[in-house]
Every structure is written in C-alpha cells, then in structure tokens.
C-alpha cells in the first residue's frame, strides 16, 4: 500500500467477477493466481491530508512522524469523522471515475488529529471492504501481509488489524517490497533459488493483533462508512 493500494489473495482458481470488479491474474507460479482488488488512492490520501492539515512543504519522514503522533491522540472512530478515499475515483469493489473523496461528521470540536485519523481509517475501511468482497469468492488467510509505504507506520498497521479483524504482518523495508519480489523472481529465473525458497528470505518484522475491545466501535464506523460511500455515489451522479 503506497500511493495507490491493492489487495491480492492467492487462489488456485481463475476468477472473473464483474459484480465486484475483480479478476484473478497469473503470478510467478503456474499453479496459482492472485485475486486482485485495487484502491486508486491509498497513501496518496494521507499524503494530501498531511499537506492540507499540517502543511509544511514536501512530505518527509518527520512530517509522517508528526502525522502518526496526531493520529494516536485521536480516539478510534476519529470522534465521528468519516473520510471516503476517492481522490481519483474508485475501481473496486465498484467502478466509478466520477466519485470523489469527502469528509463528514465535522463539528466545532473537530481537531486536526481527528481529520488525519479519519483519513487513515477510511483507507483501512476500503481495505476491509475489498477483503470481504474477496471472501465471498474464496477463502481468506487469517494473517494478512501488509507492505508499501504506509506499512512503515505502526499506527496504520495496528489500525488495519483492528478494522479488518485480521492479524497484520509487516516485513523489513516494506516500501521496497516490489523490488524485493522482482529480485526474488530474477533469482528463480537464474536458477539460484526455487519459488519455495523465497519465504526463507522474507523476514517478518512485526505482527499486529486485532484489539478486540475496539471491534464494536469499528464495526459501527465501518457500517457508517459504507452508507457514506453510497451517498457519495449518488452525489457524484448529480455532478455528471
């Protein structure tokens, strides 16, 4: 999960399901495919929010650390603020190039920390939505591997575990997962290792377990998020 995001689940089946705008694609192994769901904007949403809310120029590690600190100070559920992360439309589980992001639940007491947390939670709600859509077609593994730039932020990894209800694993240098995968496949092609050897070279850095005490809070917020998305879709139709 970086600028954009995706949810890929390994399956032995070749699947095409237009109702949720997902299809399985062949991977490196001839025996498996990957059921693929896409978030048009994920980390880009948080980056944009940081620029608007904190506004200190180009994004840096220091800015993201400040963002994480603010998010931690806001309660789970972002004090009622909801964000739908459609800065560049939506691809799955529905396709709509006209839908746009919006914030709701703002009030006089709303703080910067609540807005930033709402953006992060909105990204995680979309991940959950795609996971649940995939689960209607195939079995989902209990443990979810989280990679990309956002996986460098422990607060986001824990939030994803709490919202999806799945344990979340992160690896070392998650922002380079694409390059690591490409290098591993190249090594297989050169005959240096086999596909079965690859997991031995991928080190799990940390596992985040869901906080069960937050389940009811996030289930309610997730339900509200889905209702908000439906409203956003109807509003987008009026703008066309």
The predicted-structure confidence for 100-153, as pLDDT tens digits, reads as follows 999 999 999 999 999 999 999 999 999 999 999 999 999 999 999 999 989 999
Sequence-ordered list of residues with C-beta below 8 angstroms from that of 110, at least 6 positions apart, any chain: 79, 81
Residue 118 is predicted with a pLDDT of: 98
Token pair, residue 108, equals 């006089």
Residue 57 is predicted with a pLDDT of: 67
Token pair, residue 41, equals 């904007």
Contact in structure between 2 and 43 (CB atoms under 8 Å): yes
Q: How far apart are CA 13 and CA 10, in angstroms?
A: 9
Q: Angle of helix 43-53 relative to helix 112-135, nearest 10 degrees?
A: 170
Residue 2 is predicted with a pLDDT of: 59
Residue 240 is predicted with a pLDDT of: 66
Residue 239 is predicted with a pLDDT of: 72
Angle in degrees, CA 218, 222, 224, rounded to 5: 120
Contact in structure between 42 and 85 (CB atoms under 8 Å): yes
Q: Are strands 102-104 and 144-146 parallel, antiparallel or unpaired?
A: unpaired
Regions of the chain with pLDDT less than 70: 1-2, 57, 59, 240
The count of C-alpha atoms lying within 13 angstroms of the C-alpha of 185, restricted to the half-sphere facing its C-beta, is 9
pTM for the whole structure: 0.94
């Amino acid at each position: 999960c970086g600028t954009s995001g995706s949810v890929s689940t390994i399956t032995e089946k070749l699947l095409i399901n237009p109702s949720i705008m997902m299809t399985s694609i062949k991977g490196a192994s001839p025996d498996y495919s990957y059921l693929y769901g896409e978030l048009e904007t994920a980390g880009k949403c948080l980056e944009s929010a940081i620029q608007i809310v904190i506004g200190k120029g180009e994004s840096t590690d220091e800015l993201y650390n400040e963002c994480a600190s603010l998010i931690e100070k806001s309660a789970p559920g972002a004090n009622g603020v909801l964000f739908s992360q459609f800065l560049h439309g939506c691809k799955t589980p529905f396709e709509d190039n006209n839908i746009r992001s919006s914030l709701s639940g703002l009030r006089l007491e709303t703080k910067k920390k609540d807005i930033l947390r709402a953006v992060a939670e909105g990204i995680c709600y979309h991940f959950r939505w795609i996971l649940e859509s995939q689960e209607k077609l195939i079995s989902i593994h209990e443990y979810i591997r989280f990679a990309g730039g956002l996986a460098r932020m422990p607060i986001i990894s824990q939030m994803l575990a709490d919202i999806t209800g799945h344990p979340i694993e992160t690896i070392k240098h998650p922002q380079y997962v694409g390059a690591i995968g490409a290098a591993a496949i190249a090594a297989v092609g050169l005959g240096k290792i086999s596909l079965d050897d690859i997991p031995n070279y991928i080190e799990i850095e940390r596992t985040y377990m869901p906080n069960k005490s937050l389940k009811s809070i996030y289930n309610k917020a997730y339900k509200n998020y889905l209702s908000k998305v439906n409203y956003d879709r109807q509003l987008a139709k009026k703008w066309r």
